[in-house]
A and B are shown apart, each in its own frame.
Chain A
Amino acid sequence: MTPEETRDFEAKIRAYVGREVGAPTRGKDDVNPAMIRHWTEVTGDESPVYCDQAFAAKSSKGGIIAPPTMLQIWSMEGYAMCQRPEMDLQRELHKIFDAHGFVGVLGTNTSTDFYRDLRPGDQVTAHTVIDNISERKTTARGVGYFIETVTKFTDQHGADVGRQVFRVLKFMPNAETAEAKASTAGAADKPAPPTRIQAPRGHDNAWWWEAIDQGKLMIQRCKGCGTLRHPPRPMCGDCNSTEWDAIESSLEGEVYSFTELHYPKFPGYPYPLLCAVVQLREGTRLIANLAGCEPEQVFIGMKVRGKVERVDDKTVLPNFYPA
C-alpha cells in the first residue's frame, strides 16, 4: 500500500472504534445445570460447587454455581457460526481488513473479570464494543493491527456480572510464514515432537560428541604437556602442540555455578530446566543440565555425579545428578 492508501484504509477502520458491534445479545439459554455439566465434563473440572447440589448448598456458595469460565458461553451464537453467521459490525470490520490483504486472524489475548458467580436461572446479556485498533505493528506473522473488543455482561436486573477484553491480530501473512504453513499443511503426518537443538559438529568437536553418543564423557589431553582442556581446541595454549588424545571422565564433580532457565521456553527442552557449570574431579569444567533434583535444592558446591544418557529421539547428553 502507498502511504496514501494506508491513510484511507486507516480512516475507514478507525471509524469503527467506539461503536457497538450490534444490539446486545441475550443468551439463548439461561444459566442451567445441563450446559454446566457438559462444560465441566470436557474441562475435567470436578469441583463439587458446579454439580453437587448438597455440597454446594452447604458451601460458602450456598448452591450450585456455573464455572466463571462459562461467562462468555451463555450468549454465544451457536450452530449458525458454521452455517450463516450473522453479519455484525465486527465481521464487517474484518471484511474491510480482508479486502486490503490483512486476511490473517489470530486471537492473541483475553482478559476476563468476573464480578459475581452466576447461578442456574440467571440470564446473561452481552454488550460488545469495538474499543480500539492499534497502530500498524510488525509482528512475527506479518504486518497488521490489533483489534480490541470489550464485552460487558449483564444479568436480568441489568447489573454487570463480568467484562471481557478480547484482542485479535488482523494481519497480512508474510510470505515466509505463509510458505512454512503451506508446507506443514501439506504434510500428511502430525508434526513430530521437536528435539533439542543439535550441537553442530566440525573438525574440532565432532569426536567429543561422537564419544557422548557412545555414552562416554571425554576430556581432551595435550600429548605434549599433558594439560587437560575443555572445550576442545586444535592447539595447546601452553605448549603449542597440536597432538592430543583424550581421557574418559570419572563423571564426578560439583556445581560451580548454575541457573534455572525460565524464559523463553524452547520447544524440545524439558522445564523446569537447570543448567550448571560443573567442575569435574579431573579439573576441567563443562556446561550440562542438572537432573534428579528440584531447583530449590541446588547450591554452589553441591556434589554431583554424571550419567551420559539419551534425552530425546536425537540427543544424547551428560546429565548430572546429586551425588
Chain B
Amino acid sequence: MNKTTRRYGSVAIGEKLPPLRIDITSGLIIGGAIASRDFTPVHHDKAAAQAGGLPDIFMNILTSNGLIGRYVTDWAGPDCTLKRIDVKLGAPNLPGFVMTITAEVNAKDDAAGTVDIAYSGDNNVWGTHMSGIVRVALPKEA
C-alpha cells in the first residue's frame, strides 16, 4: 500500500510506472461485475457469453476502468485526484488470462498541476485489452 503521494515537481515526462500483473479469474470477472452492479449476463453466465461468440465470460468495462484507476492511484498516492480516464477497449479479458499493465508519464500541465499517464493493459493471449490516458492531479508542494 502506498501512503506517500508523489509531488507534481518530482514527476518527469518519460517516467515509467512499475508494471502490474493481474491474474484474470472467474472470481475477478464476476466479482467486478457484481460490485459494479453490472448484471449483464455475459459477465457472469458462461452460456450467455458463448452465445455471443466468446468461449467464456469476460471482464466488464467498469472493472477495466477500476483496475486502471487503481493502478495509477497506487503509483500516485492517496492525495492525488483522478481527473479523467480514457479507455480504448481491445481484446476481451477471459478467465485464465494474465493482464500486464504498463505505463509512462506522457505529458504535464503546469497550470493545472496534472500529469497524463499513457497506459496499456495487455493480456497474454489476445494482446491489448485496453489502452489510453489517465489524467491525475498531483499536489505541488510537499
Contacts and interface: CB of A to CB of B under 8 A. Distances in A.
Q: Do the two chains touch directly in the complex (Cβ atoms below 8 Å apart)?
A: yes
Interface of A: 35, 38-49, 55-56, 59-61, 67-70, 72-73, 76-82, 106-114, 117, 173, 178, 181-182, 184-185, 187, 190-194, 264-267, 271-272
B128 interface: yes
Given A61-B78, A109-B86, A264-B127, 10 more contacts: A40-B70, A46-B1, A69-B62, A69-B70, A76-B37, A110-B86, A184-B55, A190-B95, A192-B125, A267-B124
Contacts of A38: 35
Interface in B94-133: 94-96, 102, 120, 122, 124-128
Contacts of A110: 61, 65, 85-87, 89
Contacts of A68: 69, 81-82, 85
A21 B3 CA distance: 42
B139 interface: yes
B69 A187 contact: no
Contact of A109 (B62, B79, B88): B88
Contacts of A41: 31, 35
A267 to B, nearest CB: 4
Contacts of B122: 265, 271
Contacts of B32: 42-43
Contact of B55 (A42, A82, A178, A191): A191
Contacts of A72: 36, 62
A69 B124 contact: no
A252 B73 CA distance: 44
Nearest to A105: B52
Contact of B63 (A43, A47, A267): A43
13 contacts: A46-B74, A59-B79, A60-B139, A67-B66, A76-B36, A78-B39, A81-B38, A106-B89, A110-B65, A111-B87, A184-B53, A185-B50, A267-B127
B102 A271 contact: yes
A164 B89 CA distance: 15
Nearest to A76: B37
Given A108-B88, A267-B127, A81 B39 contact: yes
Given A42-B66, A191-B125, A82 B40 contact: yes
A149 to B, nearest CB: 13
Contacts of A70: 36, 66
Given A44-B70, A47-B1, A187 B139 contact: no
A49 B62 CA distance: 20
Contact of A45 (B54, B70, B125): B70
A273 B4 CA distance: 32
Most buried by A among B85, B126, B139: B85
A100 to B, nearest CB: 19
A117 B78 contact: no
B1 to A, nearest CB: 4
Contacts of B96: 190
Contact of A55 (B37, B73, B78, B89): B78
A26 to B, nearest CB: 14
A113 B69 CA distance: 12
B28 interface: yes
Nearest to B76: A47
Nearest to B85: A112
Given A266-B127, A271-B122, A73 B37 contact: yes
Contacts of B125: 191-194, 267
A317 to B, nearest CB: 18
A47 B66 CA distance: 13
Contacts of B128: 264-265
Most buried by A among B67, B95, B139: B67
A168 B43 CA distance: 17
A79 B33 CA distance: 11
B38 to A, nearest CB: 6
A190 B127 contact: no
